[in-house]
Every structure is written in structure tokens, then in C-alpha cells.
Amino acid sequence: MKLESTLQMKQIDKFFSEEDCKWFLWYHSILPETRDNGQRLLTMTHFNQPFFARKLKQLQDRLPDNEEVTTVNINFDYSPGGVHSDGYIDSDKTAIANSYLIPIQVHDTDRYYTIIFNQTSHEAVTFNNELGLGSKGITTYKQMTRKEYGLSNIPFDKEMYEKYLTHLDYSGLSGLTVDYVHEWKLGDAMIWPRENFHVSANFTNKDSRASVLITTRYK
């Protein structure tokens, strides 16, 4: 399957086959280094190394012609995360494109969601401190306060909070508005622009769910 464009596209059914999902789970098991950030086990795939070249080509062939892969990570989440964007880090101010999140392991006893906000940041930043998560979660992104970003004090949607985000401090979400709610489905790709803030919904099953995160830039 070759994508012509991701404009206005939010989800792609069966982006990964069942065999793809099993392959990434196996690949995770043989990689030498996994980091624990307090919410997830993150494994770098070494996607730019020769031994990953065949799989990288398969992924690249599924993307629009004007996008190229910049990172491929395998994540095992045992706790829901905080609000962040997948923008550029430090000097890598390339033409950031999209994030593709593909579940490769889910549990029938729970439903999982990723919330996409309307607010954006081209730089990779997180509000984890203000949301009560402290240093847990993404540690390579810049910690930002709501005041620094310029968020308003308009209260966050209470119904949305009670349904999805009770693991976060409610007041810290003020000024954010929801664009889209993704439900995790095995093998389906969830897509959003890298600059959009997003967050994991709360989940109760602490057995790790697993996903592959692909980020891209425009050529």
C-alpha cells in the first residue's frame, strides 16, 4: 500500500499486517538497549544501520513520496504519558512532517486512546512538570510551562478529562482543545502532524501495550 498524501488523513487501516506486528515484537526482543523513562520502555531500532535496511525500505515505500523516515522507535507503555509534541530537537530544524503510531500489541481487557490537540509546537516540548508527572516520560524534550507557551486559562473540557485524562492534573490542561481522539487498533496507523501536541489517555491495564512510532520529515 502506497500513500499518495496524508493531508486530512488521520488513520490508515492495516498499515501493519499481523506478520509486521509479530516481526517488531521479535525485533524488540533481540535489540541490545532499552531505556525506561518512568512510563515506557523505549527501544531505538537503529533504523539507519545496514541490518535494518530491508525493513526501512518497506516502511518508506508505504509513505507519500514527499516524506522520509527520520526515526523508528518501539515503545512498551506500562503507564500513560503526558502532553508533548514530536517536533525538532536542538539544531535539527528540518521540515518536520508527520507521526505514525502503529499498535503492535494490545490487550482485550482495556481500550487505548491517543488524544490530539489543536495547539502546536515545531520544537519538541512537553508540559509534564505542570501536569503532575515531574521528570517521568519524555526526558529528551524541552520542559515548558503553560505561561511560557502562552496557553489561556480557559478550563479544559471536563467531560473529555473525566473520560480520558484523569491521570493528569486538570488545571494544567487549561487552554488546550481537542482536535481528534484516536482509538488504538492492532496494525492500524494513527497519523498526526508532528507539531501537534498529543497525549496518551489513561489506561488501567498495567501490562505493557506496545507500538511502533515512525516520525517523518518532508524531502
Tens digit of each residue's pLDDT (9 = 90 or more) over 47-60: 777 778 888 999 99
Other residues' Cβ atoms within 10 Å of the Cβ of residue 179: 16
Reported pTM: 0.90
Closest CA to 42 of 179, 139, 177, 116: 139
- Please name the residues in contact with 93: beta carbons below 8 A apart, sequence gap of 6 or more: 122
Using the structure block, give the residue that is written with the C-alpha cell 524534550: 141
pLDDT at 81: 82
Closest CA to 142 of 215, 86, 75, 213: 86
Query: Band of the pLDDT at 30, cuts 50, 70, 90?
Result: confident
In the chain the domains, ranked by start, together with CATH numbers, are 11-218 (2.60.120.10)
Query: Band of the pLDDT at 189, cuts 50, 70, 90?
Result: very high
Tens digit of each residue's pLDDT (9 = 90 or more) over 74-121: 888 888 888 999 998 766 677 899 999 999 999 887 889 999 999 999
Percent of the chain clearing pLDDT 70 (strictly above): 84
CA atoms within 13 A on the CB side of 51: 5
Determine the average pLDDT of the residues in 24-37.
78
pLDDT at 174: 95
